[in-house]
Chains A and B, each alone.
Chain A
Amino acid sequence: EVQVVETGGGLIQPGESLRLSCAASGFSVNNNYMTWVRQAPGKGLEWVSVLYSDVNTYYADSVKGRFTISRDNSKNTVYLQMTSLRAEDTAVYYCARVEYYDTNGACDIWGQGTMVTVSS
C-alpha cells in the first residue's frame, strides 16, 4: 500500500526544537518530491516546505531560517527539523507526496498528520 505516516509531534515549550518524521511505504522518497503542510486548530491548510532534491528545498516565509526539510533514502523517510518554535507553529503537520508524472505537482498521498503544540 502506498502511504506515508508522520510521527514526532507533541507538546513543546516555546524556543525549543522538534523533529518530525514521515515514513513512506509503497514508493521511494528518493524518486519523489515531498512536502509538509500544516493546519492550525480551526484554520485552513498552510504550505510549509517542499523538497525537490537534497539541494533544492523551499520554505514558507513564516518558517524560513527555523525549519529544515531533509530525507534519508536508506530509511525512506522525510524529516522536518523545527527550531525556535513559537506558539503560532501549533498545528497538525501533514506530510504529502508531490506527484509529478501524472498530476505535474499535486499532492496525491497524505499522512494522517501529527500534532505539534507549542506552549509553556
Chain B
Amino acid sequence: DIQMTQSPSTLSASVGDRVTITCRASQTISHYLAWYQQKPGKAPRLLIYKASTLRSGVPSRFSGSGSGTEFTLTISSLQPDDFATYYCQQYNYLLTFGPGTKVHIK
C-alpha cells in the first residue's frame, strides 16, 4: 500500500502570508496527486489534480508542484477563506489520503 505523509500537521499564519504544505508518498506516484480543502462540517473540495493542474474555479493563489514522491501545495497570499484543513491524496494505485494540514489564524 502507498502511504502518504504531510507536513506540517498544523500551521499558524496571517492573512497575506505565503503558505507551503509538503506531501510525501512512500513510493513513486508519478504526478497522480490531488489536493483538497475541507472546512468544518463540509465535504472536501478538489483544488488541484495531476500534482499541478488547478481545477476550474479555484483561485490562482493556489498552486501545486512536484512529482514522484514529493509534492507541495502553495498559497501565495493567504485569504480569510483559506483557513481550513488541506489533504493530499495519491491516486496512482487505488486512493490514499494524507493525514491533513490544518491552517489556522495566527
Chain A residues engaging chain B, CB cutoff 8 angstroms: 35, 37, 44-47, 50, 58, 61, 94, 98, 102-108, 110-113
Contacts and interface: CB of A to CB of B under 8 A. Distances in A.
Contacts of A105: 32, 91, 95
Chain A contact surface mostly:
strand
9 contacts: A35-B95, A44-B87, A44-B99, A47-B95, A50-B94, A50-B95, A102-B49, A105-B32, A110-B45
B89 interface: yes
From B45, B49, B100, residue with most partner A Cβ within 10 Å: B49
A58 B85 CA distance: 27
Interface string B19-46: 0000000000000101010100011111
Interface of B: 1, 32, 34, 36, 38, 42-46, 49-50, 53, 55, 85, 87, 89, 91, 94-100
Contacts of B49: 102-104, 106, 108
Given A35-B95, A105-B91, A45 B34 contact: no
B50 A104 contact: yes
Contact of B97 (A46, A50, A98, A113): A46
B87 A45 contact: yes
B100 A45 contact: yes
Contacts of A45: 36, 38, 44, 87, 89, 97, 100
Contact of B94 (A58, A94, A106, A110): A58
A107 B34 contact: yes
A56 to B, nearest CB: 11
Nearest to A59: B94
